[in-house]
Amino acid sequence: MNILLCCAGGMSTSLLVTKMREAAEGKGMEINISAVGLNEVDQHIDDADILLLGPQVRYKLVELKKLTEEKGIPIDVINPIDYGMVNGKNVLEHALTFQK
């Protein structure tokens, strides 16, 4: 499974990536997690199975939803508190609920 995270510059989501990877390792799961800036979503969306937005760029949800619907993958905004506390475990579990 490939999880793609996105925020304005891909900076703060990269914090979360580290914690999510730790959580995934803890579960013994093989999951690819990466973070990109808004500009790069187009280039990375093809490899993604789910797109998660940082809450601060949720104004992009409507626009990016068109893209993810084209690709047939789910999209969601990360819970702000989990985002702030860099709670990789919660965000990972949230992402996994979308898994078919």
- Binding region for another protein (CB under 8 A): 7-9, 11-12, 15, 38-39, 54-60, 62-63, 80-81, 83-86
Active-site residue, 6 included = no
The rounded distance, in Å, linking the Cα atoms of 4 and 38 is 11
Question: What radius of gyration do the chain's Cα atoms show?
Answer: 12
Instruction: Considering the candidates 3, 5, 7, 41, report the single residue annotated as catalytic.
Output: 7
The rounded distance, in Å, linking the Cα atoms of 46 and 44 is 6
Closer by beta carbon to another protein, 1 or else 38: 38
The rounded distance, in Å, linking the Cα atoms of 94 and 79 is 9
Shortest Å, Cβ 98 to another protein: 20
Closer by beta carbon to another protein, 61 or else 73: 61
**Count of C-beta atoms within a 10 Å radius of residue 72:** 6
Closer by beta carbon to another protein, 29 or else 63: 63
Active centre residues (catalytic): 7
